Amino acid sequence: MDSVDLEVLRKSAEWLAAGRRVLLVTVVKTWGSSPRPPGALLAVRDDGHVVGSVSGGCIEDDIVERSRREGAYVKRPQTVTYGVSAEDARKFGLPCGGTIQLVLEPLAPQSRIGELLELVQQGNLVARTLDLESAEVALAPAGTADGLTFDGQVLTTVHGPRYRMLVIGAGQLSKYLAQIAVGLDYQVTVCDPREEYTETWDIPGITLVKTMPDDTAVAMKLDERCAVVALTHDPKLDDLALLEALKSPAFYVGALGSRANNAKRRQRLEEFDLTREQIARLHGPIGLYIGSRTPPEIAISILAEITAEKNGVALPDIAQVAAAKEKLGPSVACATTDA
């Protein structure tokens, strides 16, 4: 789940434990343009303190102002819609006349926010179901393909780590990549059996394992919400992970290296039990062509490509490192991703 929305759960649990009244606001549907997607959360304390976001700020302002003026003005779960008219769209700052539907839920101990937060922090993917009429809440395991549903009376939201990333290699580039990936709400595992690299690993919030890459890929049970990035430049390590990752449903599989090295890698992979279609899924050289040279720039380039793949955005060939270098010729600066 979005790190902003996770913070909403944390603050809501803290405020409830302190005896404060809390209003939880959930985006359930949007029409036209909207800054925040369905499932986005906002929590408003009875004195107007707020955490999270459901719009560009104007809707939050309206809800906060009512909370300050009327205290806990919502007594039971209810829906509210902003931006139905052009006047409201202008008033609340919805772009392009967009419309947004929200569920307002006054929280209580039976809302099970603390229990939900604990499950999410343990790495579980959890479906929370709210019956608007009875205010009853149920928690249940969720699948990676599950999402928000709302039929006007029953709201189900999904909370927890939605995407995972396996990074092969614990070098300097991996540190920048892993840090930024955590900010993008990935649950990151870094795999490197080489002690000379793992002994100096000091990035919090990331799982570091010293097992062999192929064993790690199998143990993670890679699914369609997983990205695998091989960064060691060592075929004995990178290729092991790629063999398993390319056979999995992982939405992104990529390896660092030059055009020549990636061509050789593909030739090696053809010697194993992979089909041509599976090998064709391999991204390499990885990253978007942005002239990146330093490890932080290269990490941004790689994660930009992964983000585009995750969001189903088709990129022009010129944005790819290999195609850009072939078209622009030797005069173009050499990015480290193609070194």
For 10, 45, 77, 108, 117, the CA distances from 16, given in Å and listed in that order, are: 10, 9, 17, 7, 13
In CATH terms, is domain 163-338 a member of 3.30.750.210?
A: no
Comparison of pLDDT for 161 and 126, the residue scoring more: 126
Residue 47 structure tokens: 């004195």
pLDDT on residue 22: 94
DSSP state string for 146-208:
---EE-SSEEEEEES--EEEEEE--SHHHHHHHHHHHHTTEEEEEE---HHHHTT---TTSEE
Strand partners, 297: none
Termini Cα distance of the chain: 35
The greatest distance separating any two alpha carbons of the chain, rounded to the nearest whole angstrom, comes to 70
- What are the percentages of helix, strand and coil residues in the chain, rounded to 5? 40, 25, 40
Q: Mean pLDDT throughout 253-257?
A: 94
Comparison of pLDDT for 63 and 271, the residue scoring more: 271
Specify the pTM. Answer: 0.65
pLDDT on residue 123: 75
Q: Where in the chain is the domain with CATH 3.40.50.720?
A: 163-338
Pairing of strands 186-191, 163-168: parallel
Mean pLDDT of the residues in the chain: 86
Q: Mean pLDDT throughout 158-173?
A: 90
8 A C-beta contact, residue 188 and residue 207? yes
